[in-house]
Chains A and B, each alone.
Chain A
C-alpha cells in the first residue's frame, strides 16, 4: 500500500501542475518503499536530492502561474514554498548526519508536509484560478 495516492480531488485543473503533483507522489512513494525495505543511505540521499530539485522547479512553476493569474495571496503562498524548501533541506541534512533516525523522521515528515501542501495552498490556488 503506497503512502500517498492520487485523488481526483487533488487536481488543480492545470495539466502541468497535476502532472508534477502525480510525479512527486510517485517519487515520495518510491522513497518510502526504499526506506522500508533496505535503507541504503547514499541511495536515499540521492533520491532526496532529486525530490528537492523537482519540488524547487514545481514551486517555481506554481509561483509563475500565481503571478500570471494575479493570485491575491501570492506573498503568503510564496513564503510557505520557501519554508517548505528549507524543511526539505533540513530533512536531507538530518538524514545525512544520521541515516537511521533521519529515515524515520523522513517517513513522518514527507507525507505530512506534502499533504499540507495539497490540502491548504494548492486547493486555494485552484479556487482562485
Chain B
C-alpha cells in the first residue's frame, strides 16, 4: 500500500512536470498559429499571454471546485485526455478557424483575443485543473499542505521553463509547428494513460 501510494506520488510529480512543459510549449506554438493572421506584434503576444493566464485561473478555480467531489487520479487523467484530443484537432482546423475569425471580426485586439481563446482556452483550462487536484491527492495531513503545494508548483514551473525553451530553441527550428502540436497531444495522452493505470490496477 505504501509503495503503491509512493509510486503514485512520483507519477503525479512527473505528470506535473510534463503538463507544465506542454502548457508553456503550446503557448509558444500559439504564436506560430496566430502570427500569419494577426501579425507578429506585441499585441498578439499580449493576447496569448492573457489567454493562458485566464485559462490557468479558470482551471485553478475549476480544479478546486472539483477536488472535493472527484478526488482521484482519474479526474486529472480525464482532463488531460480531453486536452490531448483538443490539441490533436488543432493542426487540421486552425487555419479554417483563424481565417473565419479574420473574415468576420477583422484583425484588431478583439479578433486576436478571440483567436487565441479559440486556440488555447479549452486545453489550457483543462491542464490548469491539474495542480489543485494533484496537491489534494498528494496531501495526507493538514500540516503537509503547504509543503506539497510548494513542491507541485515548483515542479510544474520547472516544466514551464523547460517547455518554453525546448519548444522555442529545439522543436520549432527542427520540425514544423503542426508536428509539434501532434507530439504535445501524444505526450498528454501518455500522461493521462499513466494516471489511469493505478486506478485500473486498484480496481482489479
Q: Verify that A and B bind, or say they do not.
A: no
Which B residues are closer than 8 A to A by beta carbons? none
